[in-house]
Structures are given as structure tokens and as C-alpha cells.
Amino acid sequence: MKDVVDFVEEHYQRFRKDVPETNRSSFKFLVLGSYPAHIRMMQRNMQNPIPYNDIDIFHKDIDFARYIAGKPFKPLSTEQGRKELKAVQYVRFQPHMDINYVCLSSTADLQARVHESDINAVAIGVLVTLNWITWQRKGRLIESAPFTQFLQTQTLAMCDFRSLVKPKNALASLVRLLHKAQQSNLRVLRPSDVDIVNMCHGRAIGPEHVQMYGKLQDTYKQCINHLFFFKTETDEKTRTNRCRFFSRKAAPPDVDDSRTLSTCQLALSSTVHDQVEGTCYAHAVATAVRATEKRIVGRVPMSHDQIVQQIVAKHGTKGANMFRVLQEECAERQLGRACSVRGLIYHDGIPCIELKNSWGSNFADGGNFKVGLDVVRDPRFNFQLFDVFFRVQDLLKEDLRRFEEEEERIRKMKTQMLIKAY
């Protein structure tokens, strides 16, 4: 970075001659860096943050015929209303990446920003102005020899200061930020989990951002998934589907109108098991595994005790990490994977949920106990439920064959019933 700053110092005075005298007091440098760090540094110095505006550098495969023809890329929201973004110039380094500009009065300010604000890329010679109608790029681009090399070797990050304040829709801003970071293969500088939950709980995103969210890889999607679950709903005005996100530690919403919910009837044993030493984890895993296998047509699961014995033989009687054991048992039975339940479905009027333990029938209410919903929803208790799910590609060929046979049997039975009724 020192080489870049030295280069800026060397060329600053020469380039300054090309800038109109009215603009010399506030020369604009293009930078790419961390706005949160910039804010913290300015706050330490009891100063107001410098304006920091996004300029979109579009993907290299974008249809620039639209730009040549003078057609706008997208609307630009301003204090005076929505204007058309007519001129966005393609910058030759790092396509499809956000760059930003700050207004600096001297190279000394630039050097301070570089060292204290975590700015990690600088280009001079590009004067960017905003006249509330178009973004304009003027002047010539001067690039230091180590500048391109610096960009290629540094670990850069994507940030969006609008997600740090209270935007119109923080959830949409976060999804957009993750989408652009994935396009650029960059890590993300984002608010804390607590701030994200406070800003995004109960918010909905429309079709455009739902599509962005769906394209996110697990690496980028995880920062949303571990905080929220969502349900699909229909906007009555536009008749389009949207997703509304809810904090996993907040009260679950009414899911009666959810379009993403599936249920099945399953007869489970009410027998209470009596664990030996620290084997409660094995009983919990065996219960979840057997319940899932019973949902697969034709699959005959092992008995509860047999599964417990197998697990204890591998992991012992002094407890174990239940989630890891559950994932291991799922893999052996082609059950996809275990997951932490993101929401708790309950009916109005029921103030608690009833759970079965493995401490025998003498424990609590015949081996069962109740947990109040206020405890389940309280983030201080970190109450978690685990379940097992499977996908079609996880199933054995024998499972699929039995399902098709059962489906055919039911179809014939319904046909015969209709014939008799006729």
C-alpha cells in the first residue's frame, strides 16, 4: 500500500493542474475499502464521516449495447425523486466490483484513510461527479505499476454502508450485498448478528430479491439462514409471491397460510425409555432416526433398543455430541442430513410443548415434561430442536421402487372404489 500512496504523492501535483480550480479544494479519489472502519476512525477523531457513494461496476458480460444506445441501466433514487441512470462508465480493473469515491482535500488525508480506515485500493485521475441525473466519469485514469498487482494480491471485502444504518428494507440490502459479494468472490463486511436480527426480523423481500437469495451459495446464504426462517406469502396487491423472514429466536408466525409446509401422520411409540448412565443422547438420536425412517414407504427401521446399542457401542456411555452423532447415523441410513429446526409450529391456546425424556416413567409426568413457550422463545436459553429430513436423491433405489409400487397400489384401489360407487 505504501507504494501506491507514494505514487499518489508523486503524481498528485501534476494531475491537480488538470482539475478545474473550483474543484481543487475537494479532489476526488476512487477507493475500495471498509466503510465501517472509516466510520469508527472518524468517530474516534470526533469528525463526521466523509460521504461514501456506491458506483456500480457492472459484470463484464453485461449488454453494453444498451449503454451505447443511451438506454438507462436502472433508476436512481435521489432526494428529488427517481431519476434515470444514463451514464455508467466501465472501469478496466476488477469488473463487476463496487468501487467508491471519497472527497479528500489533500494526500495527507488520503494517507490517513489508507492506514486507519482499511482502504485497500486507490486510483487517481478519475473525477466522479453527481449532478442528480447522471453519474459522470471524467479525466484520465492514472494507474501505478503496483496498483493492479496490489488489487490482485489483497484480500478484499464487499461492504454497503446502507445496511449499517436504517435503510428502507435492510433485508433486501443484505441480500443484494451478499449477491454482489458472491459475484466478485469476496468476503462480506456486514453488521453484527444482533443488528441484522433487529433490522430484518419480520421484513419481506419481493420476487427480485427472492431470486437473488435463491442463487446464493451456502457460504453466503449461511449468514441469513442461521438467524432466520421464512415463509412464502402472496402480495394481495401485486399477486406476486414474496418471502417474509422471522428470527429463529422470536415467536414463530402463524403458518396456516404457508405454502412451504408439508405434514404427515406418524404413529410414534409413547413408551418411555430408561437410559443407562449418560446415554440420553443415544435415545434422542434413535427416536429422531426411527421417526424419519417410518416416513419412507417400505422402509422397516431397526428397533429403538437396537439403534441405541449400536450408537453406545461407538460413542460410549458418558455422553456425546448429539448433533454429530445424529449426522453420522443419518449418513449411514441415506437420510440426507440432520438440521436445527428453524421454527416451532404450535396452535393458539397451548402455552407449552410436551417432550419425552429417557429417564424412565418415574421422571416428571410419567417420563414426559413440559416447556413453556416463553422459555422456547427466549434467546437467553438457546432452546434448540433437531429434526432429520431426506431428499429424493438421498434414497436408495429400493426405496424408490417400493414407493412407486405403493403409489400404483393406491391408484388401483381408488379406481376400484370409483367403479363400485358408479
DSSP 150-200: HHHHS--EEE-GGGTS--S-HHHHHHHHHHHHHHHT-EEE---HHHHHHHH
* DSSP H stretches of helix in 239-383: 280-293, 304-315, 322-332, 373-377
Cell of 107: 494526500
What is each CA distance from 288 to 18, 170, 266, in whole angstroms?
A: 72, 37, 12
* Count of CB atoms situated within 10 Å of the CB of 203: 16
The C-alpha angle with vertex 340 and arms to 380 and 283, in degrees rounded to 5, equals 100
Distance CA 156, CA 35 (A): 13
SS3 23: helix
Q: How confident is the model at residue 229 (pLDDT cuts 50, 70, 90)?
A: confident
CA 77 to chain CA mean position, Å: 26
The C-alpha angle with vertex 250 and arms to 244 and 252, in degrees rounded to 5, equals 60
pTM over the 0.75 mark: no
Bridge partners of 157? Answer: 187
Distance CA 287, CA 367 (A): 15
Handedness of CA 118, 123, 124, 128 (dihedral sign): negative
Most confident of 127-136, 210-219, 230-239, 240-249: 210-219
In tens, the pLDDT along 29-86 reads 434 444 444 455 556 666 655 443 333 333 222 343 443 454 443 433 334 444 333 3
Q: What is the pLDDT of residue 406?
A: 79
- What DSSP element (H or E) covers 36? helix 35-44
Closest among 290, 403, 390 to 331, alpha carbons compared: 390
In tens, the pLDDT along 96-118 reads 333 343 333 344 444 444 444 33
Q: How confident is the model at residue 325 (pLDDT cuts 50, 70, 90)?
A: confident
For the chain, helix, strand, coil in percent to 5 are 40, 20, 40
Look at 64 and 374; give whichever has higher pLDDT: 374
In contact, 266 and 291? CB cutoff 8 Å: yes
- What DSSP element (H or E) covers 16? helix 2-16
In tens, the pLDDT along 185-194 reads 555 666 677 8
Phi, psi angles (nearest 5°) of residue 354: -105, 130
Q: How confident is the model at residue 210 (pLDDT cuts 50, 70, 90)?
A: confident
Closest among 255, 274, 266, 236 to 341, alpha carbons compared: 255
- What DSSP element (H or E) covers 113? helix 107-116
